[in-house]
Amino acid sequence: MYEAHFGLRELPFGITPDTSFFFGSPRSQEALNTLLVAARTGEGFIKITGEVGTGKTLLCRKFMATLGDEFITAWIPNPYLEPRTLMLALADELELMLDRDVDQHQLLKTITHHLLMLAGQGKRVLLCIDEAQALPLETMEALRLLTNLETEKRKLLQIVLFGQPELNRKLELDAIRQLAQRITFHYHLGPLGRDDLDYYIAHRLRVAGYNGARLFSRRAVARLYRASGGTPRLVNILAHKALMLCYGQGRQEVGAAHVAAAARDTIAVKRRRWPWLAGASVLAGMAGLAWTFVR
């Protein structure tokens, strides 16, 4: 696409969580530090919340990649599962061999035995659950019971919940108040600040191989912040579209007009700022140009 035009090795603003692009803003670094400290205490549940697009999944992956060899991690990205299915998913993450028709008792016994074996080897087991607001209540209760597994010194399993703010409302329900009481560390991941956004853009461009002069003008960055509110996913979408427009015009610097056009083309921005805006796509006219990119 536009990589060669701007001197990039790869696209800098993808929305797939890639830990090589992790940006240690004050908020994300504080969240990561909270997770690392909490993991080493070995107690109870840990909770990270944040609005859609604020980087929870990327933070989760960075966290797991940062942990030392003494940790065994399991990751469940889609937790809308009944209790038994979630335990089967945990067993699969721990690479346990199970009979096809294993019953609930034997399943729990096998998991417990494996956790005890790992604890005897000095290993800590940490289960990370993404999109935790989707957990059914009965599955949340099953998770609480899993954390009852412990030695005299520490828990055999720690659980980290990554979820949208709806998770907080679910945890206020009386039915799972015991789980809420076991959350020993928590952090709310907010959007990027105005000053952080400039560094964020420069960081992602640098990781993608850019080493030229300023690529996004100051006015373009200011417009990016107004349009996105500092939400990293929206920033990435808008910056990518703005680069496409800039490339299509044969220019070397992204201006505020490019960002404004990208914002008018992005549904999430329309809903956030201009819900009355018509649905016509500004970039639809670029279809022919996009075709020339890939021919």
* Predicted confidence (pLDDT) per residue in 226-266, tens digit: 999 999 999 999 999 999 999 999 999 999 999 999 999 88
pLDDT over 70 for what percent of the chain? 91
Whether the full predicted model's pTM is greater than 0.75, yes or no, is yes
**Sheet harboring 158-163: ordered strands across?**
71-76, 124-129, 158-163, 45-50, 183-189
Residue 211 CB neighbour total at 10 angstroms = 8
Supply 178's token pair. Answer: 């015991």
Q: Where are the beta strands (DSSP E) in 107-171?
A: 124-129, 158-163
Supply 56's token pair. Answer: 């929870």
Q: Which residues pair with 124 in a beta bridge?
A: 71
- 259 vs 256: CA distance, rounded Å: 5
Average pLDDT over every residue of 283-288: 44
Decide if 242 contacts 220 (C-beta within 8 A).
yes
pLDDT at residue 291 in the model: 35
- Is beta strand 71-76 parallel, antiparallel or unpaired with respect to 183-189? unpaired
271/49: higher pLDDT? 49
Residues contacting 215, CB < 8 A, separation 6+? 6, 201, 205, 252, 253, 254
**Average pLDDT score, the chain:** 89
Q: Which residues pair with 254 in a beta bridge?
A: 216
pLDDT band at 185 (very low <50, low <70, confident <90, very high): very high
Q: Is 193 helix (H, G, I), strand (E, B) or coil?
A: coil
Among all chains, which residue has been given the structure tokens 């952080």? Answer: 196
Q: What is the CA radius of gyration of the chain?
A: 22
- 184 vs 12: CA distance, rounded Å: 36
Residues contacting 238, CB < 8 A, separation 6+? 224, 227, 228, 259, 262, 263, 266, 269
Q: Is it the case that residue 208 has pLDDT exceeding 90?
A: yes
pLDDT at residue 280 in the model: 41
pLDDT band at 53 (very low <50, low <70, confident <90, very high): very high
Decide if 123 contacts 89 (C-beta within 8 A).
no
Distances in whole angstroms, Cα of residue 242 to Cα of each of 108, 253, 261, 262, 265: 52, 10, 8, 6, 10
Supply 214's token pair. Answer: 């300023």
Residue type, 183: I
